[in-house]
Amino acid sequence: MSDDDFDLNMFLPYLLNQAAEASSLAFQQIYKDRYGMLRTEWRVLFHLGLYGQLTASDIGARANMHKTKISRAVQKLTERRFVARARDAGDRRLEHLTLTAKGRAAYAELHAVAQRYDIALTADMRPAERDMLRRALVKLAKVRPEGFT
């Protein structure tokens, strides 16, 4: 059964998923426990906190998230008064999203946690390693299925 030189734990898609899951866990605990948010919701929150007013499509394009996920996340965040919606006067298909005061407060705290957490995750790496890791991940995040059958 044991194969030549293939190691499942070194298979990049698998390894990346394991690393992503493990490294997300502690942060997930925090936004879940403190704010009852899902992953989709903190992502929307962060996009609005970082980039200011955006539409749902903007967020979808930036975050690579399906529009229905965003629609539902925005609905939840709006119900809970983290986010405010405003129809565009010129093009009434568009809805501009912004953080409320409550949303900005939540963002401010989670943003601080995220910064500390990221530093903790890479604490035992040398700066060159950190940079190389991030560069490699950015490249992998841009991979698009074309070119492989």
Binding site for DNA (CB under 7 A): 38-40, 55-58, 66-72, 74-75, 90-95
When CB distances are held under 5 to 8 angstroms depending on the partner's kind, the choice from a copy of itself, DNA, none that residue 131 binds is none
When CB distances are held under 5 to 8 angstroms depending on the partner's kind, the choice from a copy of itself, DNA, none that residue 111 binds is a copy of itself
When CB distances are held under 5 to 8 angstroms depending on the partner's kind, the choice from DNA, a copy of itself, none that residue 13 binds is a copy of itself
Find the binder of a copy of itself among 44, 47, 70, 82 (CB under 8 A).
Answer: 47
CB of 89 to DNA, least distance (A): 8
Number of helical H runs and strand E runs in the chain: 6, 2
What Rg do the C-alpha atoms of the chain give, in angstroms?
19
Rule CB under 8 A: which of 120-149 touch a copy of itself?
120-122, 124-125, 129, 132-134, 136-145, 147-149
* DSSP designation for 83: E
Q: How many CB atoms lie within 10 A of CB 31?
A: 22
Residues paired with 96 in a beta bridge: 86
| Contact status, residue 83 vs residue 98, Cβ threshold 8 Å | yes
Q: Whose Cβ is closer to a copy of itself: residue 93's or residue 139's?
A: 139
Find the binder of a copy of itself among 77, 93, 114, 127 (CB under 8 A).
Answer: 114
Q: How many CB atoms lie within 10 A of CB 75?
A: 13
What 143-148 contacts at long range (C-beta under 8 Å, 24+ apart), as own/partner pairs, is: none
When CB distances are held under 5 to 8 angstroms depending on the partner's kind, the choice from a copy of itself, DNA, none that residue 38 binds is DNA
